Amino acid sequence: MGLMKKLRKAVLPVAGFGTRVLPATKTIPKEMLPVVDRPALQYVVDEAREAGIEHFVFVTGRNKGAIEDYFDRAYELEYSLREKGKTEIYDALDADTPEAGTMSFVRQQSAKGLGHAIWCARDVIGDDPFAILLPDVLVKSKKSCLAQMVDAYNNVGGNIIAVDAVPEDRVSSYGVIAPKSRDGRLIEMSGMVEKPPMSEAPSNLKITGRYILQPEIMDILKTQAAGAGGEIQLTDAMATLMGEQTFHAYEYKGQDYDCGSKIGYFEAVLAFAKDHPEIGAEAQAMIKRFSA
């Protein structure tokens, strides 16, 4: 594979309908649902920025204009904040505004699956390695999940998938990895199994929704036939690439929350609220009151 390239780009597939959290997502993209005081998507972007990501590719669909608008400047709002002397709020907004040209938006015109969504970003990715962050998943950790993966990537290169351990009796709900050998948190892997019965699961390490992949995956996705659910599956393409390149799993330190489900979203709000610098103490007291 020659000289290892620095990881600079990330793909965020944001074209889904958010059917599991209707009716809220009828007019608001699920990625824009607020978790305490910011959209879920902002946490994912922050995680990637901490890992050194310089360019974001959002794969969007119809009715997702709010995502582009959110990452743009809001002149009237900014002017109003400055006029009223609300400099602290203005500065916070300004810090979250990306530099011009660091975000690309490509359309996935029809819902053909995650693999197809990633393939839609091919021209922006080019010959570079790239990260994928599924924005349904928020990971709460001291050091960002992707930053932990980048440290591992800088050591071993190739392809890396984030995993975390789940109770044995829940493996049948997830895609899990088949481990070959282990060195601390880094695990060389031989395969992936989607929702295996407990008795046949090769491990209890579930795939979390964070990946670092080499650009060759795009060539595989280009010609790949539809798989489960009639969709082009990323997992199938990774299985093919595994025959040609090294794949590692990385058991990151942190806790993930599935914001694509109502209860997962609610759990994320509670988790981020209780550690919020401004309202954390009050939120913890409130949670105690409700659980009494």
Give the Cα separation of 114 and 131 in Å (integer).
Answer: 14
121, 160, 157, 106: which is closest to 9 by C-alpha? 121
Give the Cα separation of 128 and 132 in Å (integer).
Answer: 13
pLDDT at position 226: 72
Give the Cα separation of 138 and 274 in Å (integer).
Answer: 15
Question: Which stretches of 154-222 are assigned E, i.e. beta strand?
Answer: 159-165, 175-183, 186-194, 205-213
pLDDT at position 2: 46
Q: What is the CATH number of domain 9-291?
A: 3.90.550.10
| Ordered per-residue pLDDT tens for the chain, 292 residues | 445 789 999 999 998 777 888 888 888 888 999 999 899 999 999 999 999 999 999 998 877 788 888 887 776 877 788 888 888 877 777 777 777 678 889 888 777 788 899 999 999 999 999 999 999 999 999 999 999 999 999 999 999 999 999 998 898 888 899 999 999 999 999 998 888 888 899 999 999 999 999 999 999 998 877 776 777 788 889 999 999 999 999 999 999 999 988 999 999 999 999 999 999 999 999 999 988 7
- pTM, entire model: 0.91
Give the Cα separation of 169 and 167 in Å (integer).
Answer: 6
pLDDT at position 184: 93
pLDDT at position 1: 45
pLDDT at position 3: 58
pLDDT at position 27: 84
22's CB contacts (< 8 A; 6+ apart) are none
